[in-house]
Amino acid sequence: MKNYFTLLIYVCSIGWLSAQQVPQYSLYALNPYAYNPAYAGMENTLVATGVYRQQWSGLLGAPATQHINAHLPIYAISSGVGLRVENDVIGAHNTTQAVASYNYQLELSRNTLISFGLSGGWLQYSLDGAKLRAPEGTYAEPSFTHNETVLPIGRVQAGAPIFEAGVFLQSKKWELGASMQPVFATKLKENANGNFGLQPIQHYLLYAANTIPLGENLSLKPSVLVKSDLTETQIEVSAMARWRENTFAGVSMRGFGASSKDAAVLFVGFKLNEKTTLAYGFDIPLSSLNAAHRGSHELLLRYSLNKPIGVGKLPPVIYNPRFF
């Protein structure tokens, strides 16, 4: 069992050390709740978002991520609640997590609201041995064998509880957030019974955005997202222009150092109707992997009820300007 465990640690550490950290979303400015539980309910209505991301298109075993979340306010107790489910596949590795969140929102002034949020949930990791190949293996039908005692034939898995925390400050034009999230590519550890378990690794995120009116129908929203494990740090800077509240386009740059440079991003979006928004982002590769893939694709679909829900005292509209 120890040989098998050692192999798993080696296989998983490759993904963990190669910067596939917290889930990567180029359209992060359209989906702040994905990175911060304190954002739940901050839009004063029910919001649901779905994301599909195909990273490093054309590269065998490249990451593919599916994400869905929903959050809403509870006015009677000045709070917000939300639920987020994510699934990430990298080659033979599959990680799924589901978390529920709660936050408490506090009025600092007529124009400013601060929220403190917590999330808890479960992270499940599996390794599919059927997708692995060994140099001495036999894979011609009908037989399937690795001819290697430490490689699994079927699927092995382990799970662990995960926790997140965040704070989010919102004013009429500014948004500021800080949060802590576990990475998808967790470390493996050996349990007392000889099996393997998961050791979630925390990452720290900072988010800031500002909405700048440029005319009656045009606005500009610059934003920045900083991700760090306190050893390596990656910064993403974006600018999104919005026309008449229903059409937008923007650019981003992810990574500014030799070890963190990743991609330039182009994205566009528009409202399908009063409540539904569709957006698409394309990553132009800039890292050393640029010769091995054709960029990354991301599709986002967002639904907003666009009206207050629930019972109790409604907060002033000025707390939550309509950014989307």
Percent of the chain with pLDDT over 70: 85
Q: What distance in Å separates the CA atoms of residue 224 and residue 239, rounded to the nearest whole number?
A: 9
Q: How many CB atoms lie within 10 A of CB 122?
A: 12
The pLDDT > 90 percentage for the chain reads: 54
Checking if the pLDDT of 185 tops 60, the result is no
What pTM did the predictor assign? 0.84
Torsion on CA atoms 17, 51, 241, 107, rounded to nearest 10: -90
157 pLDDT band, cuts 50/70/90, is confident
> Is pLDDT at 213 greater than 50 in this prediction?
yes
Lowest mean pLDDT among 24-28, 196-200, 230-234: 196-200
pLDDT of residue 196: 66
Query: What pLDDT shows up at residue 241?
Result: 97
- CATH class of the 2-319 domain in this structure: mainly beta
- What pLDDT does 184 receive? 61
Q: How many CB atoms lie within 10 A of CB 214?
A: 11
Q: Is the pLDDT confidence value at 282 over 50?
A: yes
CA angle 145, 147, 152 (to 5 degrees): 65
Determine the Cα–Cα distance for residues 265 and 255; give it in Å rounded to an integer.
Answer: 11
Over the chain, what is the mean pLDDT?
84
Which tops the pLDDT comparison, 321 or 213?
213
Domain residue limits, the chain: 2-319
Which residues have C-beta within 8 Å of that of residue 277, sequence separation ≥ 6?
30, 269, 270, 271, 300, 301, 302, 303, 304, 324
